[in-house]
Copies of this chain bind each other. A is one copy, B any other.
Amino acid sequence: MAMELEAGDYGAFMEKFELLPPQSEQQLPLHGLTFAIKDIFDISGRVTGFGNPDWARTHAPAAATSPVVLATLAAGATSVGKTVMDEMAYSINGENAHYGTPTNPCAPDRVPGGSSSGSAVAVAAKLVDFALGTDTGGSVRVPAAYCGIFGLRPSHGLVSTENVTPMSQMFDTVGWFARDLSTFSRVSNVLLPLPADNTTKQPLQFTIPKDCFEILGSLKDQTYQILNASVTKRFGEAVDNRNLGEFVSNNVPTIGKFISDFSESEAPSVPALSVISYVMRCLQRSEFKANHAEWVKTVKPNLGPGIRERVYEAIISADGPMEDFHALKTEFKSALSALVKDDGILAIPTVPGSPPKLRMEAGALENFRARAFSLLSIAGLSGFCQLSIPLGVRDGVPVSVSLVARHGADRFLLSVAQELYGTLKEETKKAWSSSQSSL
């Protein structure tokens, strides 16, 4: 609607016309979508349970609602409830001894992954359209991979963690899950900061480090080839397959102080990534201790198997050479920034193989977890963003890959995923139909 310029306008206007806000909730960007909320986000008037009954019992109802939940509601989505999570977010397994382990709809005999277990399951089981989780060490990426859905760990610090119970603030991020990229993008558009500028949408380089796929079990060659073929087909460019371990060893000076402790690790492993993972776990543990040691010592909570050992170990352990850890963290972010650059993508496995069986024996699980953290700590320690992408279910277990982009390039990461996804699915279908089952 055009309007006349008037004498009383102080000469301020070029043109007068009316642009109106949405006239109904039907125009809101998440209208019609339902979602679930990990029980780590505050909802005003409700107790935030943090996965443990003793925590719930000793904490008052939240006084405010997390900005992320408010933003999602304001955008038109309806929440249907709070989801089960691993106790104190201190696991990537998804087994909760108190509230029961959410059933992995993709593989009911296997763990759903955690700590955002219920959120991932609610999405995978089509109980909701999307769900909110958090990811400190892998708690969105792992259950996304295990439940065969999309899951994003955004760049650290980019999405509000206000009124979210902290695990380790140095690494805590808020992430989300969806079954399809279209829903995923709608949610991301609401939760990520507005696009900062007209950045290019085309990746200028793709790094698919061969050694990261060695960490995978039986599926390594096939997944690696699917990725290489898809990228070459879709973007028609040379892929850089250099080993990440070697690159990290050569470009992160402080790694020299630790590498000898990890070079004898049980194969398959990449010693430099084991160091990255070790340093991240030490920093995380130290901050977890600062956050929660007092509560643990006072309340002496009943913690389930697997969790109890790690929580108590965390609160009694000494901090180690923190200056070296911080130096290594800074060096690693800067080395990875030089590798991935503004417009590059790093492709890695999300997890080191199929989801573990339910109630797996502790030793085997620990070996699997160590390999998982070698991969998860790449985005974890650098603060980069990572999207886990489902390739499908093969022989009853979900297979996934991850794309990683530099800190702050979350929208770029999602646009590359959108460009690549169709080709990835085609190449996966081709590879799977032409090969024997590998399990």
CA distance A7 to B314 in the complex (A): 36
A159 interface hit (Cβ, 8 Å):
yes
Q: Are B161 and A10 in contact (CB under 8 A)?
A: no
Docked Cα-Cα span, A49 to B158, in Å, equals: 33
Interchain CB contact (< 8 A) of A103 among B10, B31, B76, B197: B10
Given A21-B75, A25-B21, A76-B21: A12 and B195 interface contact (C-beta under 8 Å)? no
With A and B bound together, what is the CA distance between A84 and B101 in angstroms?
A: 61
Stoichiometry, copies per complex: 2
Chain A, 1-31, CB within 8 A of any chain B CB? 3, 9-25, 28-31
The reply to whether the CB of A272 lies closer than 8 angstroms to some CB of chain B is: no
Nearest CB of B to A337, in Å: 15
Q: Of B20, B119, B198, which contacts A78 at CB under 8 A? A: B20
* List of B residues within 8 angstroms of A181 by Cβ: none
A330 to B31, CA, bound (A): 44
Shortest beta-carbon distance from A50 to chain B in Å: 11
* Chain A 121-155 per-residue mask, 1 if CB under 8 angstroms from chain B, else 0: 11001010000000000000000000000000000
For the complex, what is the distance from the CA of A197 to the CA of B174, rounded to whole Å?
11
The one of B15, B21, B105, B122 that contacts A31, using a Cβ cutoff of 8 Å: B21
Check A356 for interface membership: any CB of B closer than 8 A: no
Quick check: is A204 within 8 A (CB to CB) of the other chain? no
What are the interface flags for A174-210 relative to B under an 8 Å C-beta threshold, 1 for contact and 0 otherwise? 0000000000000000010111111000000000000
A228 at the B interface (CB under 8 A): no
- Contact status B10-A49, CB under 8 Å: no
Segment from A66-74, A246-254, A376-384, A427-435 that makes contact with B: A66-74
- Contact check, A22 vs B74: say whether CB atoms are below 8 A apart: yes
Contact, CB under 8 Å: A21 / B28: yes
Q: Do the beta carbons of B158 and A12 come within 8 Å of each other?
A: no
- Residue in contact with A15 in the complex, picked from B21, B81, B101, CB distance below 8 Å: B81
Chain B residues near A21 (CB-CB < 8 A)? 25, 28, 30-31, 73-78
Partner of A25, one of B24, B39, B197, B198: B24
B118 A11 Cβ-Cβ under 8 A: yes
Establish whether residues B118 and A18, one from each chain, have CB atoms under 8 Å apart when the complex forms: no
Contacts of A101 in B (CB 8 A): 11
The reply to whether the CB of A360 lies closer than 8 angstroms to some CB of chain B is no
A80 part of interface (Cβ distance < 8 Å):
yes
CB-CB nearest in chain B for A71: B194
In contact, B67 and A162 (Cβ under 8 angstroms): no
Q: How far is the CB of A278 from chain B (nearest CB, A)?
A: 26
Task: Determine the distance from Cα of A119 to Cα of B18 in the docked complex, in whole angstroms.
Answer: 16
Q: Does A295 contact B (CB under 8 A)?
A: no
Known: A43-B19, A198-B162. A10 touches B79 (CB 8 A): no
Could you tell me the distance between the alpha carbons of A17 and B78 in the complex, rounded to whole angstroms? 10
Instruction: Determine the chain B residues whose CB is within 8 A of the CB of A194 once the complex forms.
Output: 67-68, 71, 159-160, 162, 191, 193
A102 is an interface residue with CB less than 8 A from chain B: yes
Tell me, yes or no, whether A100 is within 8 Å of chain B by CB. yes
Are A73 and B161 within 8 A (Cβ)?
Answer: no
Contact of A169 with B by CB under 8 A: yes
Most buried by B among A13, A36, A162: A13
Q: A23-B25, A74-B29, A160-B196 are in contact. Are A12 and B118 (CB under 8 A)?
A: yes
A392 contacts B by Cβ under 8 Å: no
List of B residues within 8 angstroms of A76 by Cβ: 21-22
Q: Are B11's CB and A100's CB within 8 A?
A: yes
Most buried by B among A11, A17, A195: A11
Report if A306 contacts B (CB, 8 A). no
- Top 3 A-B pairs, shortest CB-CB distance: A160-B194, A16-B81, A19-B79
Other than A11-B101, A14-B82, A22-B74, give 12 A-B pairs with Cβ distance below 8 A: A12-B103, A14-B81, A15-B81, A15-B82, A19-B73, A19-B79, A20-B78, A21-B25, A21-B30, A21-B74, A68-B194, A191-B194
